A and B are shown apart, each in its own frame.
Chain A
Amino acid sequence: MNQTLTAAQRVAIARDPQRPGITDYISALFTDFFEQKGDRLCGEDAAILGGVALFHGRPVTVIGTRKGKTLEENLKCNFGMPNPEGYRKALRLMRQAEKFRRPVLTFIDTSGAYPGLEAEARGQGEAIARNLMEMSRLTVPIIATITGEGNSGGALALGVADRVLMLENAVYAILSPEGFASILWKDASRSSEACDLMKLTAPDLKALGVIDDIIPEPEGGAHQAPAIAMRQVDLYLSRCLAELEKEKGPALAAARYQKFRKMGAAAPEKEEQ
């Protein structure tokens, strides 16, 4: 564990281009992956990769944001910033997972949903909202793993899960620290100050009850020893899945509802005025 890292250092590690991405996780943790493309409405979005695969011999639906490894891939994947088609494809695959009683495993690494002209015209907000609503009532196990950056509703749209896991150096926040500083202080250069206040690291989020578990990374980050990192992820996913598969579908959905229902519910301090 790298306990001594500052929040800003973790943000840098989370964004490291060498950090394992969805394609690395798929080849390390799954066999027999079959990619499914398209939202069946109007398009295909490479910023979200999804399909069916075997996880320790068991069929699962895998969905993850994809940043790409080369510049060419980056451009094709829009640097991991999905359009509405990506979220609608993800929803299509999740509904199919429910039909075939497959658990859903999502991998999140995105700087956010794409804030573009066409994304808006095709209902970026509606696409995210729909995913939040439908994920909350899916009756198969859902495990979300935040592997790098998890920013904004664009990350949450794959994150309404029974178990939310985070790699030790991943970050999860309402938006990027730069965006946060620029909105709050009109000064994007104060991002490291923002990092400290935002409570975006895995230990902070575990304390707040937003995530369930932290997956340890090798010294210096997952990209320093990917095989070790993958083994850890495998271990945590297997353990969570074994727990969740004991539950019946409606009980899973009910527990997932309660999990999110509680967030920010209790007034932190009762003050009589």
Chain B
Amino acid sequence: MNSIFAKRRARLLAMKAIRDNRTLADATIECPKCGQSSERKLVAQGLSVCPKCGYHFPIGGYYRLSTILDPGSFRELNAKYPAGDPLSFPGYRAKLEATQRKTGLAEAVVTATGTIGGRKCVVGVLDSRFFMGSMSAAVGEKITLAIEYAAKNRLPLILFAASGGARMQEGILSLMQMAKTSAALARFSEKGLLYISVFTDPTTGGVTASFASLGDIILAEPGALIGFAGPRVIQQTIGETLPEGFQRAEFQEEHGFVDAVVPRIRMRETLAQLLRLHEKGGRA
């Protein structure tokens, strides 16, 4: 009986993961980093990593979950939480609806429970296709609800960040989500529970300056841009071009802000290892 449900859930996530990739319809795909074309099938088999240079293509939230969760363990949290328009910003609601139709997503974050290597956890993934993964009030709320769910059920928490920063159309309320998520993590941390943050490309602004920088363990995908200010703003401020590799995952690792740069292909086993390591002392 249980296995039937597990199979159904596995199929559901697989379908959503496929939908995540449906915009990529061509037979070949060009890598924006090395410029070489590769067979799409080959790229997809390698978790959307360029087989020639190792560039990590951005991937959708459900697809990301399908690459790290044990098959059949995915259960979405607050899937129906509505996107809002708290400042009644002109044109925003129409743009939200258009983006929802285009991506099939309700908002820029998917949160879920599932298992990794048999260990239960709560996982949230920001999706850069939805308003650049920017922090709306709904995103902040869904992340906070996921943190609270993990705290209540004493589960480890994993958040994948990918964000252009604040949701402009929600103004100050977007800013307040930084305080809200960070405060929720303070409470979570006091319970002695594990929080793993994973930076993916790109993560800037308010997400870097809140929950994404507060992990007990901080991982990053290779080449991910990680910063508070975006490169364009910095360039304008200092009036010179930025050095090669500035603000990339490897740079942040060298500067002490990332525990490890983990290629996508190793992400699932790395997370499984970390959950295993925190099982006793960390009560994960």
A residues with a Cβ closer than 8 A to B are 113-117, 119-126, 128-130, 132-134, 136-137, 152-153, 156-157, 159-160, 172-175, 180, 183-184, 197-200, 205, 208, 210, 256-257, 260-261, 263-265, 267-271
Contacts and interface: CB of A to CB of B under 8 A. Distances in A.
B85 interface: yes
Contacts of B190: 137
Contacts of B256: 123
Among A126, A159, A174, A264, max chain B CB count under 10 A is at: A264
Given A132-B183, A205-B172, A264 B177 contact: yes
B178 A172 contact: no
A116 B183 CA distance: 27
Contacts of A120: 227-229, 234, 246-247
Given A126-B257, A132-B183, A174-B166, 6 more contacts: A115-B234, A128-B210, A132-B210, A261-B180, A263-B179, A268-B86
Contact of A125 (B138, B173, B208): B208
B228 A132 contact: no
Nearest to B140: A264
Given A123-B255, A129-B208, A264-B86, A174 B175 contact: yes
A133 to B, nearest CB: 4
11 contacts: A120-B227, A125-B212, A129-B182, A129-B209, A137-B186, A137-B187, A173-B171, A174-B166, A210-B172, A210-B176, A265-B137
Contacts of B168: 174, 180, 183-184
Contacts of B183: 132-133, 136-137, 160, 256-257, 260-261
Which 6 pairs from chain A and chain B are nearest by CB? Answer: A264-B137, A115-B229, A136-B183, A125-B208, A132-B182, A125-B228
Among A114, A130, A174, A198, max chain B CB count under 10 A is at: A174
A62 B208 CA distance: 27
A123 B255 CA distance: 8
Given A116-B234, A125-B213, A264 B170 contact: yes
B242 A133 contact: no
Interface residues of B, number: 58
A184 B209 CA distance: 21
A69 B178 CA distance: 31
Contacts of A117: 234, 238, 242, 246
B29 interface: no
Interface string B4-35: 00000000000000000000000000000000
Contact of A197 (B85, B89, B144, B251): B89
Interface in B198-236: 205-206, 208-214, 226-229, 233-234
Contacts of A184: 168-169
A69 B138 CA distance: 41
B82 interface: yes
A113 B228 contact: yes
Contacts of A183: 168
A68 B172 CA distance: 26
Nearest to A151: B175
Contact of B179 (A123, A260, A267): A260
B45 interface: no
A97 to B, nearest CB: 17
Given A115-B234, A153-B206, A270-B82, A264 B179 contact: no
B98 interface: no
Given A134-B186, A160-B179, A265-B141, A129 B170 contact: no
B184 interface: yes
Contacts of B257: 123, 126
Nearest to B234: A115
B48 interface: no
B185 interface: yes
B281 interface: no
Interface in B74-103: 81-82, 84-87, 89-90
Interface in B32-67: none
B82 A198 contact: no
A114 B226 CA distance: 16
B228 A133 contact: no
B82 A267 contact: yes
Contacts of B229: 113, 115-116, 119-120, 124
A149 to B, nearest CB: 13
A125 to B, nearest CB: 3
Nearest to B204: A125
A7 to B, nearest CB: 12
A208 B172 contact: yes
Contacts of A174: 166, 168, 171-172, 174-175, 206
B87 A125 contact: no
Contacts of A134: 186
Contacts of B185: 133
Nearest to A211: B172
Contacts of B226: 125
Contact of B172 (A119, A160, A173): A173
